[in-house]
Amino acid sequence: MRATPDRIVDAGLSLFSDRGFRGTTVGQLEAAAGLTPRAGALYKHFPSKEAVLEAAFERHVAEVEALHSAIELMPLGDLRAELTLLARFGMQTLVRERALRRIVLTEGDRIPDLKRRYRERIVDRSYEEVVSFIRQKMAGGEFPAGSDPEAISVLMVGALLGFTLEYDVFGRHPLGVDEDRFIDVIVDSAMAMSRAGTGPRPQPEPEGSHSR
């Protein structure tokens, strides 16, 4: 059985996502966590409802950091395998943070600090991770020297985010394309970019060689 603080955080994520942060009472949180409502049980573990949301955010950040560390320990030496791992990691992260993302989208203007930290510690970190990866591959000659790491990062991360947001809103994958199929296309696209400009470039014709 999960520890009581974890059950409270789980309940908070679910209720805050469904009912809104301000629309959720402490009693509802306690009941959803299997505690006696309005008996003060929540305050034995958290000083406030805000602290429950903070714990949910920090728990997710810790999970993301653990996954980042795992990826850094797996140098596969195969560009396609590395891109696939990176894309699957991104997809897994987006799926796991679905409830937290909904809270940020619906409550972000009323809780600006949460919105700012979500952007800095989760969204921006995702972009930076891909930029770092592309730069590393450029340095090793696996991506063309003229690549645009920031634009490639926006393309890859934005595609994954758009895919998951469509599921968030409509409860289905766009055009019936599942996660595996979508990731395959993202990897194929990145591989095509990695090959761009790696072959011999056409040489300009000498002046005066054009047929008249």
Q: 């796991």: which residue's tokens?
A: 96
Which helix (H) or strand (E) element contains residue 194?
helix 179-195
Whole-angstrom distance, CA of residue 129 vs CA of residue 86: 9
pLDDT digits over 143-197, tens only?
999 999 999 999 999 999 999 999 988 999 999 999 999 999 999 999 999 887 5
pTM, rounded to two decimals: 0.80
Of the candidates 155, 169, 84, 166, the residue with the CA atom closest to the CA atom of residue 126? 155
* Cβ-defined contacts of 78-81 (< 8 Å, 24+): 79/137, 79/142, 79/191, 79/194, 80/187, 80/191
pLDDT band at 208 (very low <50, low <70, confident <90, very high): low
> Is the pLDDT confidence value at 10 over 70?
yes
Q: Name the CATH superfamily for 1-55.
A: Homeodomain-like (1.10.10.60)
Where do the domains of the chain lie? 1-55, 78-195
pLDDT digits over 33-74, tens only?
999 998 899 999 999 999 999 999 999 888 888 767 766 666
Contact 94, 118 (CB under 8 A): no
> Is the pLDDT confidence value at 30 over 90?
yes
